[in-house]
A = this chain, B = another copy of it.
Amino acid sequence: MAIRLTPVQKILIRLIHRDARAQLRRTLTKVHPADIATIFPLIPEQEQQRLIDVLFEQRLAGKTLRELPVAFLREILESMDDARLAEICQRLSPDDATDFLGHLPTERADRILSAIRGEIHDRLTELLGYPPETAGGRMTSEFLALQDTMTVGDAQVEVRKNRELDNLFYVYVVDEAGKLEGVLALRELVLQDPDVPIQQIMQRNVSKATTDTPQEEVANLIAHYDLLAIPVVDVDDTLLGIVTIDDVVDVMREEATRDIYQLAGLDLEDKVFTSPFRSVRLRIPWLFLNLLTAFLAASVIGLFEDTIAQFAVLAMFMPVVAGMGGNAGTQTLTVMVRGIALGELELKGARRALLKEMVVGILNGLSTGLLIAVAVYLWKRNLYLALILASAQWINLFLAGFFGTLIPLALRRFKLDPALASSVFLTTVTDICGFLVFLGLATLFLQHLV
C-alpha cells in the first residue's frame, strides 16, 4: 500500500510540529490509531517523542504503537522509560502487552513485568510462558466465556457487562470446570428468544487450537473454516484464550514474507529500514554459503582448464547453460514451495508433481536448447558447438525440474521448512551439472570444435 496521507493526517503533522498540544489532543481522538501510527516514521525523532507524550496522556499510546511495523516499534520502545512502558502494558489487552514485552531485551522485559502488579502481572507472566509463534503465544485472554446453565437472556446481560471487550464475535460456553463445550455466534443473541437455554442453540463441534499449535496452522484453520476467532485450550480442554482474525491476518503476511525471504536467504528481521550493519550481519551467512558452492562450481570448471585454453569460446557459453538451469529450476522450486505452503500438495501427490516437472524440464530444455543451437550456429558457424550447447541445455533443464521438485519435498520429509536454503542447493546442482555436462561434452568432441 502506497502511503497517501489523508487531510486529517496532514493536520496532525502540522499540529505536532507547532507543538499545539490542546488542538493535537482534540484531533487525535478523532483519528483511527492505525492512521496515527502511519505518520510516526514521517516526523523527526523529537516530534515522535512529543506525539508519544500526548498519546500517553490521552491513553492512546498502546493502541497506536501496536500498529507500527516491528522494526520501528522496537526503536520507539527503546526510547521510552520503564515506568511509562509498564503503564502502557497495563492498559493494553494482554496479547498486545506481551507482544510489546516480547520485542524488548529479556532483562528489560522482566524489569517492566515486575513493575506491574496484581492480576495483570499473573496473566502476562502466563502468556509470556508460551513460545511466540504458537497459538499460546498469539492468544489473548480477553474473551467471554459463559456457564452452560445460562439462557440467551443471561448471555445478553453478560455481553452488556463486558462491552469493553474488543473482539466479541463469539461467546464460548464452558462447564463448571472451565472446559470448552460449545460456541455461539454473537448474532444468535440477537436472533433468539431470551429464555432459550444457550446449551440448546450452541454449536458443539468447535474448531479449536491447543496452546502449542503452530501459528501457521492456526491461520490455516481460521481460513479453512472462515472463522473470526478460534478458541485455544489446554490438554484438558480448558478454555485459556482466543486467537482473533486480525492477528491471523498478520500471521499470514509474516508467513508469506518468510516464504519469499527464505528463497533469497533472508531473515525475517531484515526489512527496508533495518540498519545497514544489522542487515549485513543477517545476510552474510547466506552469501558465504553461496560462495562455498561457487568455489565448488569453479573447481568443476578447473577440471576443464586445458579444454578452455584450447577453445576459449566455451567460456562465453558456459554461464548460459548454468544460468538457464538456475532460472528454470527456480520456477519449479517456487511453484513447489508455494504449493506446499498453501496446502495444495499432500504426500500422495509428490510423485505426480515430480513427473510433471520432469516433463516440463524436458520440454523447456528442448525448446530453449533448439533456440540456443540456432542462435549459436548463426553466430559462430560451429555446428558441434551448437549441438553440444543444445544437449547440455536439455540435460540441465531436465535436472533443474527434477531437483527443483525433489529438494523442497525432501526438506519437508525431514520436517524442515521446504523453502529453507533450497535455492542454494538447487543452484549448486544446476551450476555444477551445467558446467560438467557442457564442458565434458566439449572435451569429448574437442577435435570437432576447434
Chain B contacts for A339, CB-based, 8 A? 271-272
Which single residue of chain B is at the shortest CB-CB distance from A300?
B316
Known A-B contacts A1-B216, A226-B246, A316-B305; the reply to A279 vs B324 at CB < 8 A is no
| Interface-facing stretch out of A11-19, A104-112, A248-256 | A248-256
As for how many copies of this chain the complex holds, the number is 2
Chain B contacts for A431, CB-based, 8 A? 319, 323
- Give the bracket for the number of chain A residues in contact with chain B: 35 or more
Known A-B contacts A272-B335, A308-B308, A319-B322; the reply to A34 vs B224 at CB < 8 A is yes
- Cβ B280 vs Cβ A334 within 8 A: no
- Cβ A308 vs Cβ B315 within 8 A: yes
CB A401 to nearest CB in B, in angstroms, measures 10
- Cβ A257 vs Cβ B342 within 8 A: yes
Chain B contacts for A248, CB-based, 8 A? 249
* CA gap between A358 and B140 in the complex, in Å: 42
Chain B contacts for A323, CB-based, 8 A? 290, 294, 297, 427, 431
| Interface-facing stretch out of A76-84, A130-138, A185-193 | A185-193
Known A-B contacts A335-B271, A336-B272; the reply to A284 vs B226 at CB < 8 A is no
Chain B contacts for A319, CB-based, 8 A? 294, 297-298, 301, 318-319, 322, 431, 435
> Taking the complex as formed, is A196 at the interface, i.e. its CB lies under 8 A from any CB of chain B?
no
- Cβ B1 vs Cβ A335 within 8 A: no
- Cβ A364 vs Cβ B284 within 8 A: yes
> Taking the complex as formed, is A360 at the interface, i.e. its CB lies under 8 A from any CB of chain B?
yes
> Taking the complex as formed, is A95 at the interface, i.e. its CB lies under 8 A from any CB of chain B?
no
Q: Kindly name the residue among A225, A315, A330, A348 whose own CB sees the greatest number of chain B CB atoms within 10 A.
A: A315
> Taking the complex as formed, is A217 at the interface, i.e. its CB lies under 8 A from any CB of chain B?
yes
A242-277 vs B, CB cutoff 8 Å, 1 = contact: the mask equals 000110111011001101110111100011110111
CB A46 to nearest CB in B, in angstroms, measures 18
> Taking the complex as formed, is A313 at the interface, i.e. its CB lies under 8 A from any CB of chain B?
yes
Which single residue of chain B is at the shortest CB-CB distance from A165?
B187
Which single residue of chain B is at the shortest CB-CB distance from A222?
B249
> Taking the complex as formed, is A150 at the interface, i.e. its CB lies under 8 A from any CB of chain B?
no
- Cβ A320 vs Cβ B308 within 8 A: no
Q: Kindly name the residue among A295, A335, A342, A345 whose own CB sees the greatest number of chain B CB atoms within 10 A.
A: A335
A281-299 vs B, CB cutoff 8 Å, 1 = contact: the mask equals 0011011101100110111
30 A-B pairs with CB atoms under 8 Å apart are: A30-B205, A159-B187, A190-B190, A245-B249, A259-B260, A260-B260, A260-B263, A261-B334, A265-B327, A272-B349, A273-B349, A279-B360, A280-B363, A284-B364, A284-B368, A286-B331, A287-B327, A287-B368, A288-B368, A291-B320, A291-B372, A294-B319, A295-B375, A298-B319, A305-B312, A305-B315, A306-B312, A312-B312, A312-B315, A314-B315
Known A69-B344, A280-B360, A288-B371; 13 more pairs at CB < 8 Å: A1-B343, A30-B205, A169-B169, A186-B186, A223-B246, A252-B252, A266-B335, A284-B367, A294-B320, A297-B323, A298-B317, A302-B313, A315-B318
